[in-house]
Structure formats: C-alpha cells, structure tokens
Amino acid sequence: MTLSSDSKESLPVVKCVARARIPTTTGPDIFLHLYANDRDNKEHLAIVFGEDIRSRTLFQRRKGETQQDRMVRGAYVGKLFPGRTMADSDENLGLSLKFDETTGALQVDPKTTWHDQKTLVRVHSECYTGETAWSARCDCGEQFDHAGKLMGVEREGDIIGGAGRGVIVYLRQEGRGIGLGEKLKAYNLQDLGADTVQANLILKHPADGRDFSLGRAILLDLGISKVRLLTNNPDKVSQAEYPPHLHCVERVPMVPLSWTSENEGIHSSEIEGYLRTKVERMGHLLQRPLKLHSHATKPSSSATMTTHTLV
Ligand SMILES: [Zn+2]
C-alpha cells in the first residue's frame, strides 16, 4: 500500500478514551491523550502541549454521565484540585465550557478552546530502541525530545517554537510499521552490510509501511486545522493534508543535533549511515552543511512552504 494514495479516502474513526495532565521533568505540563480507533487495537496517543487544545470526542457530553465521570476521564477545563465538583467549569480560573444542547458537542469558544490557529505538530512513530533502549542506530529519540522542546519554547534560533502549544501524535507503528521483531532482524542485515531500505526489502517488507491516516484523524479530533509540521520528510507534508479540513501550512525542519554541536546528539557510524540513507534513498530534505529548504522541496498545491535559513 502506498502512503499517499489513501489521503483522500475516509479517515479512521478515532475516539479519545482518556486524558491526563503529566508534569514533566523538563518543561511545561503536558496532556496525554489515549485514543481508540476502528482500524487496529493499538493504543495510539497524542501528547498535547496546552490545556485548551481539546479533543472533541473526549469532551462530547455522554448520556447519563456525571461531572465526576467527566473529570475522571479528563474532560475538564482548567485544573483539577481536591474537592472540585464541576468538570465543565473551573471557578478558580473563571473558565466555563459550553455545549450544544441537542448534540452535546463542545462549542468552540476562543476563551477556553484553541481553534483555527497554526499549531506545531510532530507525527511520530514509536521506536522502542531509539526512545527507550538508548539506540544510536537512529535519531528517533532525539527527534522526539527535540519536538517536545520546540513546543515549549518561543523560539530556537531561527525556528519559531510553539510557546507552550503543540501536539505530538504518537503512533504505535514500530520499525516503520514492521514491528519490533522484524526490525531487530533488519538490524542484523544492516550489520551484514545492507542499508535500512535494503534490509526491509530483503525481509519482504515495504521500505516504509507506516500509515499516517490515524494521525490525521487524531489532529482533526483535537481541533487542529493548520499544521506547522516538524519533519525532514517531504512525504509527511502531503500526508498531513486532508482538504478542506487539515492543511500543512509550514514544514519546520529538524536538524540532527550532532550536526550543529560536537557535544550534543548522537555520534556513531550507524547514525551517519542511517541519516545518509534517509537523505539519499528516502528523499529526506537534509543537506550537510546545513542548507535546508533547498529547491528540492516539492511544493504541494495547497501547502505554502516557509523557509528557514539555519546557520
Ligand atoms: Zn528509531
């Protein structure tokens, strides 16, 4: 299955099951959203920066539920505190949500709900080895950390950050969709001389078996329509498109830290080969020295590309 061919088809149905505030060791509180969907049984996630970015399916009023039920699943405004009784209003902060009386749908009010603004987004695929097992074979862990950092800050160099707002959609598709076991076999093939694309093909997997339609559905559920997409992958720019509802209005590059600093990032022969394959075999828009947004950028009809010059 090709990844871009399904972009006009109907999206998966997603439903946010629960949301919780997570204080972090490095920056602002985040709101972790867990999603169910009609395509697989995996627990896909959205890591949301900003209390006012609201899941429509989570906040939708449900028959027979109590305010306590709503608070427990995370469908509350403002901040929880001991003894709070109302989910839909926070008396301390003077915030109150409104709902359609007939359908129970959340009514978007700019005072309480992020709406129609450009939002920094990363669509990230799970990588156990890179995020948890300190792998220097890929830069997934670094990209994940960097995306979160950019969402917290006003800017970093020439890149405008999210200033406390943003969404990392975290899709459970390990190893470009082939699963952890097959990924480990691919690593052995790489140690035998194959590159990351060849290894997948030898194992009879597509070079990239990921599906980002769940990501689009999750972003729409969060009320995001204008995406500033953190990626070096030009394919992902078109995959963020779901006209007329979802548009990628900017591609924001992610430069490997090791290219800008001798002391930061991943320094290994494996990562050099991995990044070289991404650029040479998979069309990623990275050049060394740092010349991003070259004329190699594929313009998309409905996406306007903003360029950054990184020095
Ligand atoms: Zn990885």
- Tens digits of per-residue pLDDT, 60-112? 999 999 999 999 999 999 999 999 999 999 999 999 999 999 999 999 999 99
124: Cβ–Cβ under 8 A, 6 or more apart, which residues?
A: 140, 143, 144, 147, 168, 169, 170, 171
Confidence (pLDDT) at 296: 40
Of 209, 256, 204, the C-alpha closest to 235 is 209
Note whether residue 91 is domain-resident: yes
Indicate whether 87 and 216 sit together in one domain: no
Interval between CA 131 and ligand 1 midpoint (Å): 7
CATH of the domain at 237: 3.40.50.10990
Note whether residue 188 is domain-resident: no
Q: Which of 71, 86, 107 is the last residue of a domain?
A: 107
pTM metric for this prediction = 0.84
Note whether residue 46 is domain-resident: yes
Interval between CA 94 and ligand 1 midpoint (Å): 43
Indicate whether 150 and 265 sit together in one domain: yes
Provide the mean pLDDT of the chain.
86
Which among 54, 70, 210, 251 is annotated as catalytic? 210
Taking the C-alpha atoms of residue 73 and residue 68, their distance in angstroms, rounded to an integer, is 9
Interval between CA 242 and ligand 1 midpoint (Å): 26
pLDDT tens per residue, range 32-52: 999 999 999 999 999 999 999
Q: Residue 172: is its pLDDT beyond 90?
A: yes
Indicate whether 142 and 268 sit together in one domain: yes
Confidence (pLDDT) at 277: 77
Confidence (pLDDT) at 301: 38
Taking the C-alpha atoms of residue 149 and residue 28, their distance in angstroms, rounded to an integer, is 10
Phi-psi region of 179 (alpha: psi -120 to 50; beta: other; left: phi over 0): left
Q: 214-247: string of b/e by CB count within 10 Å (b at 16+)?
A: bbbbbbbbbbbbebbbbbbbbbbbbbbbbeeebb
Interval between CA 58 and ligand 1 midpoint (Å): 30
Indicate whether 86 and 214 sit together in one domain: no
Indicate whether 64 and 38 sit together in one domain: no
Interval between CA 175 and ligand 1 midpoint (Å): 7
Taking the C-alpha atoms of residue 224 and residue 55, their distance in angstroms, rounded to an integer, is 10
Q: In the structure encoding, which two tokens stand for residue 10, read together?
A: 């109907």
Q: Residue 311: is its pLDDT beyond 50?
A: no
Indicate whether 101 and 216 sit together in one domain: no
pLDDT tens per residue, range 201-256: 999 998 777 888 999 999 999 999 999 999 988 777 888 899 999 999 999 988 77
Indicate whether 219 and 165 sit together in one domain: yes
The H or E element spanning position 120 is strand 118-125
Note whether residue 146 is domain-resident: yes
Active site residue 137: no
Label residue 162 exposed, middle or buried (CB < 10 Å: 0-12, 13-18, 19+).
Answer: buried
Indicate whether 101 and 224 sit together in one domain: no
Residue 3 — pLDDT band, cuts 50, 70, 90?
Answer: very low
Output the 3-class SS for 44-62: EEEEEECCCCCCHHHHCCC
Indicate whether 102 and 124 sit together in one domain: no
Q: Which domain holds residue 66?
A: 56-107
Structural domain total, the chain = 2
Confidence (pLDDT) at 288: 52
Given a contact cutoff of 8 angstroms between Cβ atoms, the answer to whether 295 and 264 are in contact is no
Could you say which DSSP state residue 175 is in? G
Given a contact cutoff of 8 angstroms between Cβ atoms, the answer to whether 89 and 112 are in contact is no
Q: What are phi and psi of 103, to 5 degrees?
A: -95, -20
Indicate whether 141 and 266 sit together in one domain: yes
Interval between CA 129 and ligand 1 midpoint (Å): 6
Note whether residue 127 is domain-resident: yes
Indicate whether 240 and 168 sit together in one domain: yes
Note whether residue 182 is domain-resident: no
pLDDT tens per residue, range 249-308: 999 988 777 777 777 787 888 887 777 777 777 777 665 544 444 344 444 433 333 333
Which among 88, 139, 208, 211 is annotated as catalytic? 208
Note whether residue 307 is domain-resident: no
Active site residue 210: yes
Interval between CA 138 and ligand 1 midpoint (Å): 5
Indicate whether 127 and 100 sit together in one domain: no
**289: cis peptide before it, omega within 30°?**
yes
Interval between CA 154 and ligand 1 midpoint (Å): 27
Interval between CA 85 and ligand 1 midpoint (Å): 43
Note whether residue 276 is domain-resident: yes
